[in-house]
Amino acid sequence: MKKIAILIMLYFLAYTFSPQLQTETKSLVQSKPVQEAVTQVSNYAADHGWSEIVQKMLGTTLQVVSGVSSDNPALEKSMRLLENHLQIRLHTLPPVNPSLKKEQASQTITLYAGDTGISDETLKSASSLITSDSLPIIQNNTNLNPKKETEVVLYSSPDLYGNALLKAGISSDEISAIVSQTGGITVDSAIWIPMYNLQGKDDLANVLTHELTHVTFNQAGIGTKLPLWLNEGVCWHNGLAAQEKVNSTRTNRIIKAMTANLKKTAQNGELLPLDQIDQSLLSASYNVEFQGYLATEQLIDKHGLDRFKAFLNQTQRQDVQRSFQQNFGQSLGEFEKEFTI
Ligand SMILES: [Zn+2]
């Protein structure tokens, strides 16, 4: 219990006080003894059925403190920071009100205005991005598409998005971090997008395509089979491809800046092994999803897109370890161990 109390205090301190204190507390939070304590507390909580409450309490705070956010926030503002965390915690999003304004993007995908601040033009623009960019890119890169009913809900303001999150069962003390930091949430076949967090049409193309790739994997039954780095890696691969179609200059700048950040992290010896990303998603000092993206790029570059699609296809029917070995000629574990930038 003492350990739990100290951890809570630490997070509270880091979350509440000055930037300097936050930086110092951040290194403390990332130190080995504290990380070991986090694991112990999480295990203890799981054993006693408190998993959800502890995860809620530690999760968001850790995310804010040790910031999946990078030192280049302007470029990364639109990148999805908390979505995995939310994917794990929420089992379902509340159903949309059928009287909301809507637009049919495809046979299976319906776009909704989550509040009255979303105009007809915004719905139409999102719809055309889905049909002209997202779906062709997802199909081309994975041989898959969302086959079941999928809903995409757009929100226009932090207040209205916050209200919707409250109704979805997220605790009020977490709302502000989520409202300001997320670019999108995906749960099964439902996507929520806070439009006010996006900088332009290219960001929207990225987020829509990224989240629809998650939905595609969920519906194909491979969302939880794929290791986190690879699942996020493909979503980033597709999201950035859609963004590039709308604004290639800005997209290339983002990729360059994020690659440089990650190289710096690697040079400092702080890069985590790929197979540890799942456990360290909340506490890593850098954007682990982008590491997954670079690893996925390496895999596609080395073996070709057709081989990669064959791997995804095979994973729908069998164990991911086996399909990885058969398609790429080495074990998943070996690749994860060998990967460097
Ligand atoms: Zn994602």
Distance between Cα 186 and ligand 1 center (Å): 8
Distance between Cα 277 and ligand 1 center (Å): 13
Distance between Cα 25 and ligand 1 center (Å): 28
Distance between Cα 17 and ligand 1 center (Å): 30
Per-residue pLDDT, 108: 97
Q: Could you tell me if 178 and 271 lie in one domain? A: yes
DSSP 77: T
CATH classification at residue 290:
1.10.390.10
For 34-71, the pLDDT digits (tens) are 544 544 554 454 455 444 444 444 433 333 222 233 33
Distance between Cα 177 and ligand 1 center (Å): 17
pTM: 0.76
Distance between Cα 84 and ligand 1 center (Å): 6
Per-residue pLDDT, 167: 85
Q: Could you tell me if 22 and 130 lie in one domain? A: no
Residue 258: is it exposed, middle or buried by C-beta count within 10 angstroms (0-12/13-18/19+)?
Answer: buried
Distance between Cα 42 and ligand 1 center (Å): 23
- CA torsion sign, 180 to 259 to 132 to 107? negative
Per-residue tokens: 18 = 């000055």
**How far is Cα of residue 187 from the mean position of the Cα atoms in its chain?**
11
Q: Could you tell me if 277 and 212 lie in one domain? A: yes
Distance between Cα 234 and ligand 1 center (Å): 9
Distance between Cα 86 and ligand 1 center (Å): 10
Give the confidence band of 283 by pLDDT, cuts at 50, 70, 90: low
Per-residue pLDDT, 316: 97
Distance between Cα 235 and ligand 1 center (Å): 6
Query: How many domains does the chain contain in total?
Result: 2
What's the half-sphere exposure (Cβ side, CA atoms, 13 Å) at 31?
10
Q: Could you tell me if 130 and 223 lie in one domain? A: yes
Range of the structural domain that residue 233 is part of = 102-338
Per-residue pLDDT, 10: 52
Per-residue pLDDT, 68: 31
Per-residue pLDDT, 89: 60
Which of 50-64, 186-200, 220-234 has maximum average pLDDT? 220-234
Coil, strand or helix at 120: helix
Distance between Cα 284 and ligand 1 center (Å): 16
In whole angstroms, give the CA distance from residue 264 to residue 280: 19
Distance between Cα 232 and ligand 1 center (Å): 5
Q: Let me know if residue 71 belongs to a domain.
A: no
Element (H, E) at 232: helix 228-246
Per-residue pLDDT, 191: 92
Q: Could you tell me if 61 and 178 lie in one domain? A: no
